[in-house]
Amino acid sequence: MEKETLMKNKETLMKNIPFSEAVVLASLVDYEEGRVVSRTLAQKKGVGVTLFAFAAGEGISAHASTGDAFVYILNGRATITIGEKKLTLKEGESVVMPAGIPHALDAPEPFKMLLVVVKPE
């Protein structure tokens, strides 16, 4: 059986992203004025992978996750608060927001990020 036929018959673990092609992650989400736009790439019991595009002035209010949340800034600049600590991250930088610690994200300017959340099973 041909490889492409095998892929069609197999349950995919990821979605909303081309397979077997080079892709610029930031190109998979677009900015929308006054909104936070998301695109889920994987959502399974122990892991979630999501792309986000934050318009300037938008954000996500403080909340805690049951898993460790890894953020990688694709472009722009983000303000991330973890507990009482405030960080400013720019393109190419990342941070892990630990499980159980409240965190918030704000967009002083438009930014895009990749979020990977790893949860206990």
CA atoms within 13 A on the CB side of 45: 2
CA max distance for the chain: 56
pLDDT beneath 70, residues of the chain: 1-10
Predicted pLDDT at 7? 52
Predicted pLDDT at 121? 76
Please tell me the pTM assigned to this model: 0.89
Phi first, then psi, for residue 13 (nearest 5°) are -95, -20
C-beta contacts of 74-78 below 8 A and 24+ residues apart: 74/25, 74/26, 74/111, 74/112, 74/113, 74/114, 75/26, 75/111, 75/112, 76/107, 76/109, 76/110, 76/111, 76/112, 77/108, 77/109, 77/111, 78/54, 78/105, 78/106, 78/107, 78/108, 78/111, 78/113
Predicted pLDDT at 12? 82
Which residue's entry shows tokens 């900015």?
A: 31
In 1-121 the beta strands, taken as DSSP E runs, fall at: 36-44, 47-54, 59-63, 68-82, 85-90, 94-97, 103-106, 111-118
Structural domains of the chain ordered from first start: 3-118 (2.60.120.10)
Predicted pLDDT at 23? 96
Predicted pLDDT at 39? 97
